[in-house]
Amino acid sequence: MMMDYETLKVIWWLLVGVLLVGFAVMDGHDMGVGTLLPFVGRDDTERRVIINTVGPHWDGNQVWFITGGGAIFAAWPLVYATAFSGFYWAMLAVLWALFFRPVGFDYRSKIANPLWRKTWDWGLFVGGAVPPLIFGVAFGNLLQGVPFRFDANLVSYYEGSFWGLLNPFALLAGVVSSAMITFHGAVYLAHRTEGEIQQRAVRATLIFGVITLAAFAAAGVWVQAIPGYVIAAGADPAGLPNPLAKEVVREAGAWMANYRQQPLLWAVPALAFLGGLAAIWAVRAGRTFFAFWASGLMIAGIIGTAGVAMFPFILPSSSDPRSSLTVWDSVSSHLTLTVMFWATVIFMPLIIAYTSWAYKVMAGKVTKAYILENEKQAY
C-alpha cells in the first residue's frame, strides 16, 4: 500500500515531531537529573543515589536521539545537510558535552577519590545542561530565520556566524528549553528518591516550573513581533522537492497565522501551561508518577507550539526567503518515505515495548541504603 506523496509529507512532519518530543521526554529527564546533580546531592552518597536513578537506562533513552537524527537525515535530507552545516559549531558543542555522559556514568564511582568524583559530577552536569540550552537556542533561530541560501544547483551557503546565533530571542528560547528539561528531571528525581533528596527535588520543580512557564509565555508574546514567513506562490504539496520553485515573503505576525485560521490549535500551547501547572501541583501533592506524565505533556505542548506556528516551514532562510525549506520541498522521494513509514509502523511499537519493560523492571525508589549495600555494583 502506497499513500499519496502529500499525505506522506505531513505524516513525516508529525513523526519527526513525535521523535523530538520522545527525545525530550525520555532522554530529557536524564539530562535534567544531570543538571541538578551537583546541587541536589550534598555528599557523595546522595550524588550516587541521584546517578543511579538514571544510570541503568540513560543509554537506552539515547535511542530517541539517534532515531530522531536518522529520521531527519532520511526524511528531510536537505534540512539535515543545511542545518548541520549552518549549526556546525553548535552541534559540535552538543557532541562535546555529550561525551561526558558515558564516561561519567561508567567511571565516576570506579575510584574512591573525592576530586575524581567531583570532577565527573561536573562533567555530568555539562552533559546534561549544555545540549538542551543549545537546542533551545537553535529553535529560537529557526523562528527568526537562518542566514543561508541555495544556488541554482541547490548547494547551500551559510552566511552567518556562531556568535550570531546568540541573539536575545534565541537565548530566551534557550532558557525555555533548559528550564523545561531541568524541571522534567526534577520531577523524575522526586519520583525515584526519598527523604532530603526528594525534598530538594520538589523545591527544584517549583523553581524551574515557574521559570519554564514564564519564559514560554514571554517567548509567545515576543514571537508575535517577529516577522514570520508565508508561501506566496509556487509550492506544490504533491510535487517533487525543489525549494527554489516557490516564492516566500516575510510578514509581521505570520507565525500566528495557523492559530488564527484554526482556533482549535490553541489547545497545543494550552496543553503546555496545563501540563506544567498540573505537574507542579502533583509533585507537591506526592503524586509523582502523574507529575512525570503531566510534565511530558507540557514538553509536548511547548515543542508542538513552535511546530504548529512554523508549519509548513522547517528551516526558514533570512538571507533568501525563497530558499526556505518546508514540509513540501525538502523531503526524500515518495518511495523512501513509504518504506520508512512502514519500518516505523513495525519498529516503533517494539521500541516503546522494550522501553516500558525496562522501566517496569527498574521501578522503585533508589535509596542511600541501596548504595551502601551495593557499593561495587552501583554507579
The per-residue pLDDT for 260 is 94
Give the separation between CA 151 and CA 185, rounded to whole angstroms: 44
DSSP class per residue in 111-173: S--HHHHHHHHHHHHHHHHHHHHHHHHHHHHHHH-BSEEE-TT--EEE---TGGG--HHHHHH
Res 162 pLDDT > 80: no
**Model pLDDT for residues 239-297, shown as the tens digit of each residue:** 888 888 899 999 988 999 999 999 999 999 999 999 999 999 999 999 999 999 999 99
Q: How many CB atoms lie within 10 A of CB 258?
A: 17
Q: Residue 90 corresponds to which amino acid?
A: A
Is the model's pLDDT at 376 over the cut of 80? no
Residue 324 lies in a domain: yes
Q: Indicate the SS3 state at residue 109.
A: coil
Residue 175 lies in a domain: yes
Q: Mean pLDDT throughout 313-325?
A: 93
Which phi and psi (to 5°) does residue 374 adopt? Answer: -125, 50
Residue indicated by cell numbers 521500541: 351
Please report which confidence band the pLDDT of residue 338 belongs to, taking 50, 70 and 90 as the band edges: very high
State the pLDDT at residue 311. 95
pLDDT at position 67 is 87
Cell readout for 50 is: 541521584
238 pLDDT more than 70: yes
Weakest mean pLDDT among 14-23, 45-54, 297-306, 358-367: 358-367
- Which of 144-148, 344-348, 359-363 has the lowest average pLDDT? 359-363
pLDDT on residue 372 = 86
What is the pLDDT, as a whole number, of residue 169? 96
Grid cell, residue 91, equals 552541534
Q: Tell me, yes or no, whether 379 lies in a domain.
A: no
pLDDT, one tens digit per residue, over 356-369 is 888 888 888 998 88
Question: Residue 69: which CATH number?
Answer: 1.20.1630.10
User: Lowest-confidence range among 47-51, 57-61, 167-171?
Assistant: 57-61
Residue 167 in this model has a pLDDT that exceeds 90? yes
Indicate the number of domains in the chain: 1
Mean pLDDT over the full length of the chain: 92
Question: For residue 61, is pLDDT > 90?
Answer: no
Cα separation, 291 vs 286, whole angstroms: 9
Task: Assess if residue 24 is contained within a domain.
Answer: yes
DSSP classification of residue 313: E
Q: What is the pLDDT of residue 294?
A: 97
Domain that holds residue 35: 5-373
**Is residue 323's pLDDT more than 70?**
yes
Q: How does residue 64 score in pLDDT terms, banded at 50, 70 and 90?
A: confident
In 3D space, the residue among 118, 124, 119 whose CA is nearest the CA of residue 99 turns out to be: 124
Distance (Å, whole) CA 181 – CA 224: 25
Q: What pLDDT does residue 1 have? A: 60
Cα 307 to its chain centre, rounded Å, is 12
Q: Is residue 378 part of a domain?
A: no
